[in-house]
Amino acid sequence: MKRQAILFIALGLIFSYSIKAQEVGTVTITIADVIEQPGIVNIPVSADIDVADPGVGSIELIIDYDTGVLTDFLNVINIAPELSAWGPAWGVQDPADPGQFKISFAAADTDDYITSFSDVLFYIQFDYAGDYSDISFVNTNQPGGSEVGQDGATPIDADFVDGSITQAPPIPIALWSLLIAFGLISFFKLRRDRLNR
């Protein structure tokens, strides 16, 4: 009899957990892998959200990068319209942690919670010196780290996909020479055609 009761309780816990997991849904936050030339770069941070009501009401991200490659975090730009009513806050986290910054968004009203979304949330803008750097989420699904929640107190288990930046190869000198030669030939041909009229 005891054995049946323990089995019944275990099955009940498994069943209730599976129902809860189905009700919550899925959230994936992704930093893109980009190939860029040195200079000002905009790196997309995307989200795929499919969550039951009330939905996602807070997003907090701590992002880590190599300061020798991405020499300066400049801004967060092109924030998705779905987050327009949310209160954003971002900035360099702590001088003791160069190469990290924190971005937080929180909805003030449950009417602004997101249940379905699949697009770019925003772009993070850096001054890029060249070379390669991982761009990683810190302390995922942990309080005070990178996490997603229904509100400030109810976390949602999310997948966080790290990104990177790689320097694009320069245009070879031979190609530049061909482009210049083609441009000069076209210019002189046009000029000759106009003179022959």
Q: Determine the pLDDT at residue 29.
A: 96
Task: Give the separation between CA 106 and CA 85, rounded to whole angstroms.
Answer: 9
Q: For the domain with range 25-195, which CATH number is right: 3.30.980.10, 3.40.50.2300, 2.60.40.680, 2.70.70.10?
A: 2.60.40.680
Sketch the domain layout of the chain as residue ranges: 25-195
**Where does residue 161 fall: left (phi above 0), alpha (psi -120 to 50 degrees), or beta otherwise?**
beta
- 89-96 contact pairs (CB < 8 A, 24+): 93/62
pLDDT digits (tens, 9 = 90+) for 166-197: 999 876 766 666 777 777 777 777 777 777 76
Higher pLDDT, 157 or 98: 157
Q: How much is the pTM?
A: 0.72
Q: Which of 122, 123, 46 is nearest to 84 (CA)?
A: 122
Number of H helices, E strands in the chain: 2, 13
Confidence of residue 152 (pLDDT cuts 50, 70, 90): low
